[in-house]
Amino acid sequence: MTWREGFIAVDWGTTNRRAYAIEPDGQVSNEMEDDLGILSVAPGGFEALVDELRVRLGNRPMLLAGMVGSNRGWREAPYVPAPATLDGLLQGLWWSDDRRCAIVPGVSYVSGDDADVMRGEEVQLFGAAEAGMIPRDGLVCHPGTHAKWAWMRGGAIEGFRTIMTGEMFNLLRQHSILSDALKTDANLGDAFEAGVDHGLHHDDLLAELFSTRARHLLGRDGHGDRASYVSGLLIGQDVRLGLRCAAENSAVAVLGKPELTRLYATAIRRAGRGATESEGEAAFVAGARLIAERLG
């Protein structure tokens, strides 16, 4: 079976994976998601899991992206340096011996002392740009465990910056002195917006985090919903740093999970910039199709 006759695309991250069976017409005919991220796979265990994916989704060629191509994953596919194009990704694919599995390389960015890496988001970025979901030039925000702010030029990834906002929220929620207050989900509203405004206009994150606890202990918790306030605070500082990545003032394309793009788009608008939202999952499928078409 060739790639054009249908394939499987896998977004295999650190803590979970999503796989899609994609038909010749580009439609997703079947999909699955589980928590078998690369950290849950023992060394030498990837081949069996790939076989099992084919039992579930069809005996087809398979395109894999994300941390599965890192030094902790199945095989390391070395980073393609930015500015990175789709051609660069194609040249950097790692191929299994039977040529029925290809792993997409990540992208690296170096500028002076700045250095950054991504794995997985590049498929979404190229897919979204090609499908017209985001502009081929401009600033893209991809929220998540490690939020990425990428600036695109002519459809290429010119550079990007990572801000570990999602991981920080999880650390605070699971292990910190604030954890009791963060058990609920963050929601749009006054508390979230107050947190965003603080994060946008102040650079005192590790002090303000403690202040949320002190205000609560002293009965001065005017913002009410602390989880939403802290989420807003973290996203506000993220947007403050991210907007510095590009000089122009055009709208920011926010690409990712809808529950996150909604929060980020709100924060970006409070910073006085326009924001559009696109779904990361659709962008991933579009990007995987784009690559598969070039594989023949």
C-alpha 112, offset from chain centre: 24
Within positions 62 to 101, which residues make up the interface with a second copy, using CB under 8 A?
71, 79
Instruction: Answer yes or no whether residue 112 interacts with a second copy by CB under 8 A.
Output: no
Residues in a beta bridge with 160: 150
Give the contacts of 90 (CB within 8 A, at least 6 positions apart): 291, 294, 295
Residues 195/227, Cβ–Cβ less than 8 Å: no
C-alpha span between 12 and 271 (Å, rounded): 33
Other beta carbons less than 10 A from residue 136's beta carbon: 13
Residues 165/143, Cβ–Cβ less than 8 Å: yes
Q: Is 36 helix (H, G, I), strand (E, B) or coil?
A: coil
DSSP letters of 40-84? Answer: GS-TT-HHHHHHHHHHHH-S--EEEESGGGSTTSSS--PPEESSB
Instruction: Answer yes or no whether residue 108 interacts with a second copy by CB under 8 A.
Output: yes
Q: Residue with structure tokens 């979901």?
A: 133
- Region from 30-38, 42-50, 84-92, 217-225 binding a second copy, contact rule CB under 8 A: 217-225
> Binding residue for a second copy (CB under 8 A) from 176, 190, 269, 273?
176
Q: In this complex, which beta carbon is closest to a second copy, that of residue 56 or of residue 201?
A: 201
Instruction: Answer yes or no whether residue 206 interacts with a second copy by CB under 8 A.
Output: yes
Q: In this complex, which beta carbon is closest to a second copy, that of residue 225 or of residue 238?
A: 238
**Shortest distance (Å) from residue 74 CB to a second copy:** 17
> Binding residue for a second copy (CB under 8 A) from 174, 184, 249, 250?
174
Q: In this complex, which beta carbon is closest to a second copy, that of residue 67 or of residue 134?
A: 67
**Shortest distance (Å) from residue 236 CB to a second copy:** 12
Instruction: Answer yes or no whether residue 188 interacts with a second copy by CB under 8 A.
Output: no
Q: In this complex, which beta carbon is closest to a second copy, that of residue 17 or of residue 240?
A: 240
Instruction: Answer yes or no whether residue 110 interacts with a second copy by CB under 8 A.
Output: yes
> Binding residue for a second copy (CB under 8 A) from 64, 101, 104, 168?
168
**Shortest distance (Å) from residue 6 CB to a second copy:** 34
- Region from 87-95, 166-174, 185-193, 275-283 binding a second copy, contact rule CB under 8 A: 166-174
- The token pair at 184 is 């609920």
> Binding residue for a second copy (CB under 8 A) from 8, 123, 150, 163?
163
Q: Regarding beta strands 101-103 and 62-65, do their DSSP bridges make them parallel or antiparallel, or are they unpaired?
A: parallel
Q: In this complex, which beta carbon is closest to a second copy, that of residue 164 or of residue 282?
A: 164
Give the contacts of 228 (CB within 8 A, at least 6 positions apart): 186, 187, 188, 189, 191, 192, 195
Instruction: Answer yes or no whether residue 28 interacts with a second copy by CB under 8 A.
Output: no
Residues in a beta bridge with 21: 8, 30
- Greatest Cα pair distance, the chain, in angstroms, is 67
> Binding residue for a second copy (CB under 8 A) from 28, 90, 131, 164?
164
**Shortest distance (Å) from residue 5 CB to a second copy:** 36
C-alpha span between 51 and 67 (Å, rounded): 19
Contact positions toward a second copy, by CB under 8 A? Answer: 14, 71, 79, 108, 110, 114-117, 146, 161-165, 167-168, 171-172, 174-177, 203-207, 209-211, 213-215, 217-218, 220, 234, 237-238, 241
